[in-house]
Amino acid sequence: MRISILGIPIDNLTRSEFLNRISDMLDSENSNLVATVNAEFLVHAQRDAEFRAVLANSEINTADGIGVLWAAKYLTLPTPNIPIIKWIVAFFELIYTGVLIVLSPKTIRSVIKEKISGSEIIWSIAELATRKNKSIYLLGGYGDTAEKVKQKLLEKYPTINILGADASNPRDSGLAEKIKILKPDILLVAYGPVKQEMWIAENIKNIGAKLGIGLGGTFDYIAGNKPFAPHILRHVGLEWAFRLVTQPKRIKRIFDAVVVFAWYMLRHKIQTLKPYRKNVLACVVNEKNEILICKRKQISNEYEFFEPEKKHWQLPQGGVDTNESNEEALVRELKEEIGVKHIEVLGEILNAHTYEWPITMTGGWARIYRGQVQTLYFIRFHADHDEIKIDNDEFDSYKWVNKNELINSIHPVRKKVAEIIVENFGRYVK
């Protein structure tokens, strides 16, 4: 079961369930990214579309920290959808559940089954790797930190197969290729939050590892470079206070993880009272069964386009107006966006994909809706390609790609729906 917090899916797992999932991954042929998500991750994902896409598409997102457990509990409290009143109630619910973190930790832990953090699971993963004879590569940290972690793991599991303990810079050319030659099953990466997940997402398939996990400061704690917070502070959710005292340079990160996160959650609670906007999405295919994608123009003040050098390819899509059917919206959008009139509907997947907009996206439709629910149509394009006239206010250009190129061709924030298309393509397109 996954719980959505600020639009990011969090897996509600016990430690045992998590390890069973990891074990299955190690026996598969796929490359899997696992993220240990804390409040800082969730805040950053509201500002960074690329990182948000990584978390949305990762195989497992564990709840790493009391903030995530608290957020899940906070969202379960009923809030009346009445102007002004909803803000007052949501604010007092925030204060109430915040106090419960210290006074009743068990209550805060009543929604998400268990906190699963990197500093705790590294030992379980090492034990699992030893038992299943899977190899590990340690990447990140500073100086000899990774080497110290290697020695600590070897002390507890003398037969563990650690192929490397590497502090290389993530920007080092040839780093991924160097690791690929060794063929590790598991990548444990400690480049720090966000950077490590982005590196894993970009490189794990090329390396061929079965499992990639970002472990943040775990290497430093195991190596003895930084002290663990006392157990009682970790249990009552005050680990951040200990880190503020022992690592004052983290004040900006702690501010984001405590103050900004609470503010975002208050806004998110109000956002969840809004409906989803109905949207239609078109998988347009030609006579070669290639799929039409369009390159969206860069709009600097939109959340998804903070990095103007990124090419944003997507499928034609658009909202369903009031008193308009999905089919009517589909015909209108195809005509407006790509000038296509001669089509054949091959199939429909109702409510195929649902997603929430980030809290930082406050203008336009975000004032009315919490996100979009998309109905997917498979469309056969019968006319000459010269008929395609893209909306120059919306798109720069278009191209045709085959099914196997789709996922890697479109923008990462569109990856989920691309996977749905690929999975169902043969069912509708013959």
pLDDT band at 306 (very low <50, low <70, confident <90, very high): very low
**Average pLDDT rounded to a whole number, residues 181-194:** 94
Q: Which helix (H) or strand (E) holds 57?
A: helix 49-57
> Residue 419 corresponds to which tokens in the numbers above?
């996977």
Spatial CA neighbour of 372 closest among 361, 350, 383, 357: 357
3 state SS of 227: coil
Query: Does residue 146 surpass a pLDDT of 50?
Result: yes
Structure confidence at residue 341 (pLDDT): 78
pLDDT band at 358 (very low <50, low <70, confident <90, very high): very high
Q: What is the mean pLDDT of the chain?
A: 90
Contacts of 66 by beta carbon, 8 Å cutoff, 6+ apart: 101, 105, 108, 115, 236, 237, 239
Query: Does residue 22 surpass a pLDDT of 70?
Result: yes
Tell me if 376 sits within 8 A of 281, measured CB to CB: yes
**Average pLDDT rounded to a whole number, residues 329-354:** 91
Tell me if 150 sits within 8 A of 178, measured CB to CB: no
> CA gyration radius for the chain?
23
Residues 82-101 pLDDT 10s: 999 999 999 999 999 999 99
Query: Could you say which DSSP state residue 133 is in?
Result: T
Residues 155-179 pLDDT 10s: 999 999 999 999 888 888 889 999 9
Return the CATH fold of 276-428: Nucleoside Triphosphate Pyrophosphohydrolase (3.90.79)
Bigger pLDDT: 322 or 240? Answer: 322
pLDDT band at 299 (very low <50, low <70, confident <90, very high): low
Which amino acid, one-letter code, is at 47?
R
For the chain, the structural domain boundaries read: 1-63+115-225, 66-114+227-272, 276-428
Contacts of 361 by beta carbon, 8 Å cutoff, 6+ apart: 302, 303
CA 393, CA 78: separation in Å to the nearest integer?
A: 42
Q: Which residue has the tokens 């268990």?
A: 114
Query: Does residue 260 surpass a pLDDT of 60?
Result: yes
Spatial CA neighbour of 219 closest among 169, 151, 162, 277: 151
**Average pLDDT rounded to a whole number, residues 268-273:** 96
Structure confidence at residue 235 (pLDDT): 65
Four-point Cα dihedral 248, 250, 255, 257, nearest 10: -130
Question: What does the buried/exposed string (b/e) look like for 418-428 if buried means 16 or more CB atoms within 10 Å of the residue's CB?
Answer: bebbeebbeeb
pLDDT band at 237 (very low <50, low <70, confident <90, very high): low
Spatial CA neighbour of 125 closest among 153, 159, 145: 153
CATH architecture of structural domain 1-63+115-225: 3-Layer(aba) Sandwich (3.40)
**Average pLDDT rounded to a whole number, residues 66-88:** 96
Spatial CA neighbour of 90 closest among 305, 303, 264, 338: 264
Structure confidence at residue 329 (pLDDT): 94
Distances (CA, A) of 197 to 191, 292, 383: 9, 30, 44
